[in-house]
Structure 1
């Protein structure tokens, strides 16, 4: 009797960024890759020498070490030289293009890459998917597109372009070309799925996998055990509203400042905003101009301290400008819930965000940019801190039931197994 051994699944990654580069949701790819390795998948990565958020010393170290293995030898990472990433959007786009050219060359002509069964492609930068589609046309290799950001809709939402502009038309062509050639498209919410369906993407191509949270890394922390109260000189007896993360235009941080201005009469209410130094500067000036004694802007904290950050709050904010609800599902929402903190949302109505918050009584939901409703919600929470605590407990239970690391990563394995030989 002959025993036929099935060869392990081989996955080709072509990321624009890779460890040690850090992003707000980098834990997702790390969790996913760990599970891929544990499942027995073999992974090959072609990526530039790191540039984002790393020192010159680290960058030089990777220049000397172009090949490495990780995840117990299940992943081989090959790095190629590339200029540093700057702030100029034109130069950044040029760098993205050069990276895609190099990755296309590796994917088409490298024997190791050609032996892979499937490509796993992320949506940052947006031309990455189009590059993978071209690789597929040359090699007939299928690809899974992991869609975390819908381009060019996101540019319209931030005001960088408008529908009908040349940039929008180019973006839509890139988007359609990518969707047409992708074999599976993973989206992070039902709102994303509806967006793609409205653009003619077949439903059987789309898989909804919500971003998860590592429920063992982000946990409820009692105030008496939270070191950030002492580090920042915070009174443990006060009521805190916390925001942490990106302070960009899409997040509508202004509504938090306006709410702080409108609730000065509440003596024990304090607002805490955690953000990067660069993004914080204009808001610090605004806080000083408005003399907001009830709001502090603090340094962004590493992911390892997320439990402490959200543990400061009786409630934590998830906010956006109008029009972003169908193209955004902030992962911070799951971290807030996993930390056992109530969610205070200022978000588009009719979205997954509203359905999940209101359907599970894990916070209060208000329409995006509605300052009166947002302020009224804050006053409701302030008047009933016990209700906040109960919402936080239900939020933690929701994570443990629906959005754990194991639940999320296992769904990725299921999608990739479809392409096993």
Structure 2
């Protein structure tokens, strides 16, 4: 089985969910699949020295030869939205050409970042006459409407819906990350038998509780281990409602025992830095994105960890960082749209759910957890148990392998 993947981003680029791709590649290789990847020269989250290392790398073999990575040159991603969009377009053109001419391909697999990758794979499918499996991690253009970047019924929305419909129509199987995702695309006309729900998993062996006395990040960044830390880990972008989070942090500044730590990077990071400086918010600490090998230290840093977004953004999503929080035996504090995430948190008693944008409830939840450390520990234990029962790496990756095998077997009939 030779699988073609047209990757929007690829290792060693820094992204919150890049480990999911790595786990899938490993599982595919162990299942005897050969994955042929076409990806631009890596740049997101890399230092200048790391970026230069890839200047002349054209071909890499990974996972004992199970993954063959073909690199091509591309200018670096910047903050200018127009240049970023044009970069996506150029990458798509190159990948379309390379995908069409790739030899001995049995199946195409792509993920939904950027959202044009699905349509790109559909075009390659039409040329090569092979099946196409789509991994839907984000629903476009719904996500744009949630951020205010597109208006429902507007031109950008209509273009997005056309791309979405073209992708769904041509995909042989669509893997979605929640039941809410499934309901969303079924409402758009996708047959139920084309959809498979596979929750994003967590590597339970890599993400586990690190006692505070052993957590190297405290000494590395001068954090006082006696404080109560509320942490956010991941993308610091336009959708995460950082403005509200900083307002809450400022309002709690008088309580010297509570501090906030934001770990990551993203399009809104510079604005966050500016707000913290301008308002002189003394209880917020900004840490850079940490390497994956330190992920247990990152998710064990706080007494409670956040899943947060602006209202209307997370209607259909369960962020995969939720599982990492649980795996590290930390309570989940969500400020999110009411969906499947609320059910999971409340049913399994592993944190507190508050409605997206509800600043009062969010603040009250922080104070409740601050004043009841035993409750924090109980929530953390319950979350870890939920992961071990439902969301291990082995369970999740095997489901992907099974989907690939099922699509391939249908082709052979």
Q: Same fold (TM over 0.5)?
A: yes
Equivalent of residue 161 in structure 1, options 125, 130, 150: 150
- The count of residues paired between Structure 1 and Structure 2 equals 409
- Aligned-residue offset at 1:265: 4.4
Provide, for residues 5-48 of structure 1, a one-character-per-residue CA deviation record: whole Å limited to 9, x for no partner: xxxx2211111222222321111111110011011111212222
Q: Distance in 2 between matches of 1:314 and 1:56?
A: 34
Structure 1 residue aligned with 2:262? 273
- Aligned-residue offset at 1:139: 2.1
Provide, for residues 108-145 of structure 1, a one-character-per-residue CA deviation record: whole Å limited to 9, x for no partner: 233x2xx2211001112212111211122222211000
Structure 1 residue aligned with 2:16? 24
Provide, for residues 314-353 of structure 1, a one-character-per-residue CA deviation record: whole Å limited to 9, x for no partner: 111110111122243221111111111101100111x111
Provide, for residues 162-198 of structure 1, a one-character-per-residue CA deviation record: whole Å limited to 9, x for no partner: 1111111111100000000100011111111111111
- Aligned-residue offset at 1:102: 2.3
Does structure 1 residue 88 correspond to structure 2 residue 80? Answer: yes
Does structure 1 residue 295 correspond to structure 2 residue 287? Answer: no
Q: Distance in 2 between matches of 1:49 and 1:123?
A: 19
Does structure 1 residue 414 correspond to structure 2 residue 406? Answer: no
TM-score (ref. length: structure 1): 0.92
TM-score (ref. length: structure 2): 0.93
Q: Distance in 2 between matches of 1:76 and 1:55?
A: 24
Does structure 1 residue 305 correspond to structure 2 residue 301? Answer: no
Cα 1:80–1:278 shift into 2, 3 Å: closer
Q: Distance in 2 between matches of 1:58 and 1:238?
A: 35
CA contact (8 A) 2:348 2:382 kept: yes
- Aligned-residue offset at 1:56: 5.5
Does structure 1 residue 362 correspond to structure 2 residue 350? Answer: yes
Counterparts of residues 22-61 of structure 1 (less than 5 Å): 22-55=14-47, 58-59=50-51, 61=53
Structure 2 residue aligned with 1:6? none
CA contact (8 A) 1:343 1:364 kept: yes
Provide, for residues 220-249 of structure 1, a one-character-per-residue CA deviation record: whole Å limited to 9, x for no partner: 011111122222333323222111222212
Counterparts of residues 243-262 of structure 1 (less than 5 Å): 243-262=232-251
Does structure 1 residue 393 correspond to structure 2 residue 381? Answer: yes
Q: What secondary structure sits across from 1:31 in the alignment?
A: helix
Point out where structure 1 has 5 or more consecutive residues left out of the alignment: 1-8
Q: What secondary structure sits across from 1:28 in the alignment?
A: helix
Return 257-266 or 219-228, whichever deviates more.
Answer: 257-266
Q: Distance in 2 between matches of 1:56 and 1:306?
A: 23
CA contact (8 A) 1:153 1:327 kept: no
CA contact (8 A) 1:48 1:81 kept: yes
Return 216-225 or 41-50, whichever deviates more.
Answer: 41-50
Return 198-207 or 294-303, whichever deviates more.
Answer: 294-303
Equivalent of residue 170 in structure 1, options 151, 159, 164: 159
Counterparts of residues 326-365 of structure 1 (less than 5 Å): 326-349=315-338, 351-365=339-353
Q: Distance in 2 between matches of 1:339 and 1:382?
A: 18
Counterparts of residues 103-114 of structure 1 (less than 5 Å): 103-110=95-102, 112=103
Provide, for residues 235-292 of structure 1, a one-character-per-residue CA deviation record: whole Å limited to 9, x for no partner: 3232221112222121011222222233344342222222338743322332344343
Q: Distance in 2 between matches of 1:297 and 1:75?
A: 36
Structure 2 residue aligned with 1:189? 178
CA contact (8 A) 1:191 1:325 kept: no
Q: What secondary structure sits across from 1:20 in the alignment?
A: coil
Point out where structure 2 has 5 or more consecutive residues left out of the alignment: none
Q: What secondary structure sits across from 2:222 in the alignment?
A: coil
